[in-house]
Structure 1
């Protein structure tokens, strides 16, 4: 790192190259932080997490007990050992609390003054953060498995909602009503994700083994259905029998640039797709254990080279190299199955929640040997090498996505 800093200061190296290299090094050194605890609020499993992107300071959690908590991730005590405390909760004593399991929570992408939660009590609630009261409540006929707001949308304020009904619901935050449905799936909708690249593109996953890509401006149906065998994409979506997995598809996640889409299914497989063409890239991640009957919340790193995927896998979090499928490491620390994880791109940290009611913080560890190597390398005027040769391109590539 010291050699990178010297090269950056003298103008010999691109700052982007240094930033990506350091981000990659930090992700490769993630470990369970023994000095940082997250207060245990939930009496049952933790289903969902979300970190706001405005300040990168506050984290939402939702649990099987119906409780919602907001944590302050900042170390206000300035002590080496500290606990991220819940600054407020919507607990069982609140008359506004969800009656059953909270499946998804999400901060409003442009303002921390609002967040949205959805639950098995057949509701989606839009909350005022200041008062912790619902500003809007949407009622549905079946359990709500998931919802998602676009991280980039400026021309619409739609929330995509997946329920036990095979129709994807689109709710408008401005009007407070359901304005449209997307028809095409034949099973319950387990995951929905807006593209971080195009504000009108939506991906949906279902128990019918299919993943559909939609342009919500079109009324004629989905753009295409993902086919694990890379069949003919020219067929009309209504005629397509393509399947993305040989089981329920319960997880979706776009890469940060929106160029690729990751899917997980109960066939114990994870697949990487070109989001524009729908092509299966055929990256082999091996067996990715997945027995969840609900949505699986997994995440992708940001600003690394290569990028990494963090996937709940039984009682661990599996870390894969995005484009090669290589299993980098298994993060072990939970006592029961992990249901969700959230990557903090500001600090290259990871938070995971599971059925053991715990939220664990995984942070980059600076090893003494690494520091000594950096000092020796800098003294020789050489270039820094990384411990894992499989990721040397992180230190040699100066390209930015």
Structure 2
């Protein structure tokens, strides 16, 4: 790090290289924060969390109890030990509360005055943050598994919605109605994600083992369906043709630049795809335990020289190097299965929610874990067991 600081001071290195090196170091050194708690509000498991990108201060959570909570992540007490308080809650006493499990929550991408939640009660609600009342309610025939609004769109205000119905529905926030249907899947749609690079590109995952990429301006069908065998007829049978996994596909996440897409399936595999061509990069992540029958919310780091995926894996969070496939570490702290992760790109912090009704905060340690810390972890003395091959990765030159 001293070399980076000297290079920056003398003008040999640009600020971006120093920033990415430090961001990578911080992402590599996450461990459970003993001094930061998140107030426990939910009475059942936590299915989904989201941090707004405007201030990076407020976090949403949605639970199996139908409750939606907004937390303030800022430390107002200025004390080392503090609790992130719930600033407002749509609880069971509210007449607007979801009747059944909340599966997805998302902040409006452009300001904190609005957020969106969807539930097994067959509704998606657009909330006014000030009044905590729905400004718009979209009613569906089937249970809603997921929704997402594009984080970068300027020319449209579409919300993609996945339900028990194989058809992906596009709801327009301006008109308050469903204006388009995407047909092609043969099973329930468990995950939808908009590209962070192109505002009209959408990825969808289904129980039919397929992942499709769409340009929503085209009415003729999907751009292509991801094929785990890259079209090799000797490896795929007619039944397995154009499948991304050998089971239900329940997780999607684009890398920060939108050039790659990560998918997870109940075949205990995670795959990395080129979004421009749909090619399977064949990165081997080993066995990625996936017991979720619904959507799996995982996250990818941003602003780092190396990209990392944070994937719920039983009661732990597995951290993988995205492009090499190596398991970096396992973050252990939950008492039950983890259902969702959210990465805070401003501070390289991670928040995770699980069936134990807890939200845990994982923060960078002051220095990269070394071999002694790895040995301590085997004795139960540390939350992080880091592969030594990654100890100096943060100090490598910027690949970009």
Aligned to 2:177: 177
3-state SS of paired residue (1:20):
helix
Q: Deviations over 1:238-273 (max 9, x none)?
A: x99410000000000000000000000000000000
3-state SS of paired residue (1:335):
coil
Aligned to 1:12: 12
Q: Deviations over 1:111-167 (max 9, x none)?
A: 110000000000000000000000000000010000000000001000000000000
Aligned to 1:108: 108
Q: How many Å apart are 1:336 and its aligned residue? A: 0.2
**Paired residues, what number?**
380
Matched, 1:363 2:363: yes
Q: Distance in 2 between matches of 1:49 and 1:9?
A: 39
Q: How many Å apart are 1:11 and its aligned residue? A: 0.7
In structure 1, the gaps of 5 or more residues are 234-238, 371-385
Q: Quick check: 2:349–2:364 contact (8 Å CA) kept in 1?
A: yes
Alignment CA distance shift 1:176-1:240 (3 Å): farther
3-state SS of paired residue (1:70):
strand
Matched, 1:193 2:193: yes
Aligned to 2:64: 64
Q: How many Å apart are 1:399 and its aligned residue? A: 4.1
Q: Quick check: 1:18–1:395 contact (8 Å CA) kept in 2?
A: no
Aligned to 1:292: 292
Q: Quick check: 2:288–2:313 contact (8 Å CA) kept in 1?
A: yes
Alignment CA distance shift 1:240-1:290 (3 Å): closer
Q: Quick check: 2:305–2:399 contact (8 Å CA) kept in 1?
A: no
Q: Deviations over 1:184-221 (max 9, x none)?
A: 00000000000000000000000000000000000000
Report the TM-score, using the length of structure 2 for normalisation.
0.92
Q: How many Å apart are 1:17 and its aligned residue? A: 1.4
Q: Distance in 2 between matches of 1:368 and 1:329?
A: 12
Q: What aligned pairs does 1:101-180 form with structure 2 within 5 A after superposition? A: 101-180=101-180
Q: Distance in 1 between matches of 2:39 and 2:103?
A: 20
Q: How many Å apart are 1:362 and its aligned residue? A: 0.2
Aligned to 1:2: 2
In structure 2, the gaps of 5 or more residues are 234-238, 371-385
Q: Distance in 1 between matches of 2:100 and 2:201?
A: 31
Q: Quick check: 2:167–2:185 contact (8 Å CA) kept in 1?
A: yes
Aligned to 1:33: 33
State the superposition RMSD in angstroms. 1.8
Q: Quick check: 1:225–1:240 contact (8 Å CA) kept in 2?
A: no
Q: How many Å apart are 1:304 and its aligned residue? A: 1.2
Q: Deviations over 1:290-334 (max 9, x none)?
A: 011100000000011210000000000000000010000000000
Q: How many Å apart are 1:12 and its aligned residue? A: 1.8
Q: Deviations over 1:371-401 (max 9, x none)?
A: xxxxxxxxxxxxxxx994446454232343x
Q: Quick check: 1:66–1:97 contact (8 Å CA) kept in 2?
A: yes
Aligned to 1:80: 80
Aligned to 1:379: none
